[in-house]
Amino acid sequence: MLQHFDLIIRNATIIDGVRTPRFEGDIAISGERIAAIGRLDDARAEREIDASGQVAAPGFIDSHTHDDRYLRSNPDMAPKVSQGVTTVIAGNCGISLAPLVAANPPSPLDLIDDTGAYRFPYFADFMTDLAANPAATNAACMVGHTTLRVAAMDRLDRAATASEAAHMASMADEALRAGAIGLSTGTYYPPAAHATTEEIITAARPLKAHGGRYVTHMRNEDDHIIAAMNEAFRIGREVGVPVIISHHKVVGVRNYGRSEETLALLAEARRAQDVCVDCYPYIASSTMLRADRIPLSDRIIITWSKPLPQYVGRELADIAGEMGVSQEEAVARLRPAGAIYFSMKEEDVQRILRFEDTMVGSDGIPHDIKPHPRLWGTFPRVLGHYSRDLKLFPLETAVHKMTGLTAAKFGLKDRGVLKAGAFADITIFDAAKIGDGATFEEPTQPARGIESVMVNGTPVWEGGKATGARPGKLLRNNA
């Protein structure tokens, strides 16, 4: 009997996302899902793609994004689909667009918006809005503790009272009911830095009943990183949910090499509880411009500046020199602003990427004028630079860290794996050519070697450009 499908990808080297050794085969798609994988010589389809010499992998899942508003403002999602990403996890670092109504949100909430997008009194309103306006990629969203704090408190320079923390918990519960897949914190940032561990435990309490996870940009990633990790583990244990440490890194010259310590602690913790990390493949970080980062960094580059946009893309030391002032004074004049900080050691980045339970996540900041290259380059950089060129791990492992592992850790059903019945989120790439085009000088260059990308069976990137299709789905908790 001649089987008939919508689409067949022929002769691909299949890397399935769950670390099965690569094999040659065909992939048949019917509607939104994969119908069959194997030798499908007798099957026919409306459209056939010859993928000889190419790898077919599950579409990549960006485990750490700030795409909450970008999904609506730039639904083509070009920085993501151009590197093979088919699903983004939004709402990281304590920052979510809902539930909050605010015209001038405090930093760092302005990282994703200062144009009036904080307009959803309930998380369900935000979910409805996203579901009604699909983007090219799928999206799963978390609720941010900093957003809850801003909504619940009259001032942010203190710990929440018991009733304020209870209010945050009830808002978190509403968000989880509406489909949020977890709660994130960003206690590194001033509006959340005064939160006590107890406040966070109270706010995060509803996670367990909804199968959510606790995801944290920790209070500290430099001298006091061990205490910060122990706080995160404790919150996970007391709430009874998995812990994900965001963009794991060790910052500051005097802490170089300490990933040995942090990974040993993680390995020990994961014997008792579910913990993992995400990581981006660069030795530079990017966030708001802050003077306290000067002594921790080798170089600082400005990504945006409200009062002095003419300095975007330039080095802080040069700007201070030109102004004839200290770097601290230059920071004060440039703020509000964002920056890239060269403050990590390559060996630490590699050791963290290699760690068994490390997922790849871009932490891209899509609204920056001159963004960190991780926004456009993260996934091809891991596949090309780290896996193929430096041989940090085999391609099967690299793909797993951006697909199957991530889907499992975030509870994304039928994603992150190539098998019959799974959604047809598929990235076809040339393993010999794949690489990041984005650099610190030219950060918005697309990747090399991404041949085609489909989301729920529909192509979103072909022939080096976006197709304009927007087949992305909103992935809700437990749905």
Give least dist CB 363 to Zn ion, A. Answer: 6
Give least dist CB 66 to Cu ion, A. Answer: 6
Stretch that binds Zn ion, among 88-96, 103-111, 135-143, 310-318 (CB under 5 A): 88-96
Q: Rounded to an integer, what distance in angstroms lies between the CA atom of residue 402 and that of residue 380?
A: 11
From residue 345, alpha-carbon distances to 251, 258, 477 in Å are: 8, 10, 36
Stretch that binds Zn ion, among 216-224, 264-272, 298-306, 353-361 (CB under 5 A): 216-224
Stretch that binds Zn ion, among 105-113, 134-142, 217-225, 440-448 (CB under 5 A): 217-225
Q: Among 69, 76, 82, which Cα is nearest to 453's?
A: 82
Q: Does 375 bind Zn ion (CB under 5 A)?
A: no
Among 92, 138, 286, 327, indicate the residue that binds Cu ion (CB under 5 A): 92
Give least dist CB 246 to Cu ion, A. Answer: 6
Nearer to Zn ion, 217 or 351 (CB): 217
Give least dist CB 311 to Zn ion, A. Answer: 24
Nearer to Zn ion, 37 or 192 (CB): 192
Q: Three-state DSSP class for 9?
A: strand
Q: Read out DSSP for 158-205?
A: SPPPHHHHHHHHHHHHHHHHHT--EEEEETTSHHHHT--HHHHHHHHG
Nearer to Zn ion, 406 or 427 (CB): 406
Tokens of 163: 């009733």
- DSSP bridge pairs for 140: 89
Nearer to Zn ion, 362 or 387 (CB): 362
Tokens of 29: 């798609």
Other Cβ atoms closer than 10 A to 388: 18
Binding mask of the shown chain, residues 188 to 217, with x at each position contacting Cu ion by CB under 5 A: ------------------------------
Pick what 278 binds: Zn ion, Cu ion, none; C-beta below 5 to 8 Å, kind-dependent.
none
Q: Among 47, 43, 40, which Cα is nearest to 12's?
A: 40
Other Cβ atoms closer than 10 A to 128: 15
Q: Among 61, 157, 175, which Cα is nearest to 427's?
A: 61
Nearer to Cu ion, 150 or 279 (CB): 279
Stretch that binds Zn ion, among 38-46, 211-219, 380-388, 398-406 (CB under 5 A): 211-219
- DSSP bridge pairs for 342: 284, 299
Q: Scanning residues 334 to 373, which ones bind Cu ion (CB under 5 A)?
A: 363
Q: Rounded to an integer, what distance in angstroms lies between the CA atom of residue 377 and that of residue 391?
A: 18
Q: Is the torsion defined by CA of 428, 80, 316, 217 positive or negative?
A: negative
Stretch that binds Zn ion, among 19-27, 111-119, 196-204, 212-220 (CB under 5 A): 212-220
Q: Which helix (H) or strand (E) holds 96?
A: none
Give least dist CB 93 to Cu ion, A. Answer: 4
From residue 33, alpha-carbon distances to 58, 270, 396, 470 in Å are: 12, 34, 22, 16
Nearer to Zn ion, 285 or 387 (CB): 285
Nearer to Zn ion, 13 or 286 (CB): 286
Give least dist CB 385 to Cu ion, A. Answer: 22
User: Whose structure tokens read 């309490």?
Assistant: 205
Give least dist CB 408 to Zn ion, A. Answer: 22
Give least dist CB 235 to Zn ion, A. Answer: 16
Interface with Cu ion: number of residues (CB under 5 A): 3
Q: Scanning residues 303 to 322, which ones bind Cu ion (CB under 5 A)?
A: none
CB 16 within 8 Å of CB 415: no
Q: Is the torsion defined by CA of 311, 380, 409, 353 positive or negative?
A: negative
Nearer to Zn ion, 348 or 396 (CB): 348
Nearer to Zn ion, 259 or 285 (CB): 285
Q: Where are the beta strands (DSSP E) in 211-298?
A: 213-217, 243-245, 275-279, 284-288
Q: Does 93 bind Zn ion (CB under 5 A)?
A: yes
Among 66, 80, 145, 217, indicate the residue that binds Zn ion (CB under 5 A): 217
Give least dist CB 93 to Zn ion, A. Answer: 3
Q: Does 93 bind Cu ion (CB under 5 A)?
A: yes
Which stretches of the chain bind Zn ion, using CB under 5 A?
93, 217
Which stretches of the chain bind Cu ion, using CB under 5 A?
92-93, 363
